[in-house]
Homo-oligomer: A and B are copies of this chain.
Amino acid sequence: MPLKKPHNGLQNGDGNHEKDSRHFGNGSQQQNMDLNDHEGEHNLPSVLEVNSDSPVVNGIGSSLANGSLNLHSTVKRKLDGEKDYVFDKRLRYSVRQNESNCRFRDIVVRKEDGFTHILLSSQTSDNNALTPEIMKEVRRALCNASADDSKLLLLSAVGSVFCSGLDYSYLIGRLSNDRRKESTRIAEAIRDFVKAFIQFKKPIVVAINGPALGLGASILPLCDIVWASEKAWFQTPYATIRLTPAGCSSYTFPQILGVALANEMLFCGRKLTAQEACSRGLVSQVFWPTTFSQEVMLRVKEMASCSAVVLEESKCLVRSFLKSGLEDVNEKECQMLKQLWSSSKGLDSLFSYLQDKIYEV
């Protein structure tokens, strides 16, 4: 990190910072907080329209934001087809040359001063649910952020839901098509997604604006600091929907919440409010929804003023004793899911449960 480059994220120029902060639902927008679609239509695209004709390239190698942004464009985004992006060391240089051209469909990546900001903003699933494709985008963004000059990563979400976990309609669709092949593919996508969090070396701050479900809640202990809005809540009803735990929650949840509460979450689908999650250690601190965005940004910027070496080495010390253990857990969990999905019995059980849910609705 030899020289400080001007950040090329959204805050550049033309007073878009004010609009930007509305993603967290602060200020005048509070009343829209749980109207996901509403926000999705009116606010999000107003700042996220990618103008692929004017990529911001600032020359010094690592412009990782997903292109420049046309603030006053129409609602629809031009979506680039998903590129076959290879994480091969030999290819890194050439890839880096083109990074400014990287587009993401279901996440937004913004390069800020000292940190990278990834926002879940799924266009291909509801409520920021995760599909293998979306998980791959997050992995790509994490990979980019690990190599750039940012000191830490901020992960948040657009809309009123943080992440609703695995996309079950996707899951059912694919598994009923080709059980054997798809169970492997999806389980491996989860494994690689979780692994990317375990292996990420810079501190990860997560800002939870709303509900975090399943895998969306499970990965939180793999992040380093978890700030939540009063509106957030947390649920991992794996057994209820006939699944075994994922995202290392079978290890991290008992570790953090105690075996009794962890199991109540994993087996009975116990829901934790933001305050409960905070008092039990899943969340670092809870903020008022109207000022959540500012509080998070203030703290992240202060953190980003720290020494990069100290941040990375501190994380290394905190995580070193867990890392190999977590990778094992991740492997085992995904192996278990694969077995479950590839067995007709496990699949039937899942299908009949989800079917019932659909009939209920």
Contact = CB atoms under 8 A, between A and B. Distances in A.
Interface of A: 203, 220-221, 223-226, 238-240, 242-245, 250-252, 254-264, 266-268, 270, 279-285, 299, 302-303, 306-307, 309-311, 313-315, 317-318, 320-321, 325, 329, 332-333, 336, 340, 345-346, 349
Contact of A245 (B224, B225, B250, B314): B314
A242 to B, nearest CB: 5
A248 B238 CA distance: 28
A329 B306 CA distance: 23
A190 to B, nearest CB: 14
Contacts of A282: 258, 260
A314 B259 CA distance: 12
B238 A261 contact: no
Contacts of A311: 239, 267
B268 A307 contact: no
A116 to B, nearest CB: 16
A141 to B, nearest CB: 21
Given A221-B258, A238-B314, A244-B314, 10 more contacts: A203-B263, A203-B267, A225-B268, A226-B260, A242-B306, A267-B303, A268-B302, A280-B281, A313-B336, A317-B336
A311 B266 CA distance: 10
User: Which of A238, A263, A299, A346 has the most CB atoms of chain B within a 10 A radius of its CB?
Assistant: A263
15 contacts: A224-B267, A244-B313, A256-B260, A257-B281, A259-B318, A260-B281, A260-B284, A261-B284, A264-B285, A266-B318, A267-B303, A270-B284, A317-B333, A317-B336, A320-B332
A147 B346 CA distance: 21
Contacts of A226: 260
A284 B263 contact: yes
A307 B263 contact: no
B260 A283 contact: yes
A329 B321 CA distance: 9
Please indicate which of the listed interface residues A257, A262, A310, A336 has the most CB atoms of chain B within 10 Å of its own CB: A310
For the complex of A and B, list the 4 residue pairs with the smallest distance between their C-beta atoms, beginning with the closest.
A258-B281, A250-B317, A264-B284, A260-B284
Contact of A285 (B242, B250, B251, B270): B270
A260 B221 contact: yes
Nearest to A261: B284
A338 to B, nearest CB: 12
Given A244-B310, A310-B244, A299 B260 contact: no
Given A260-B225, A281-B258, A346-B307, A266 B340 contact: no
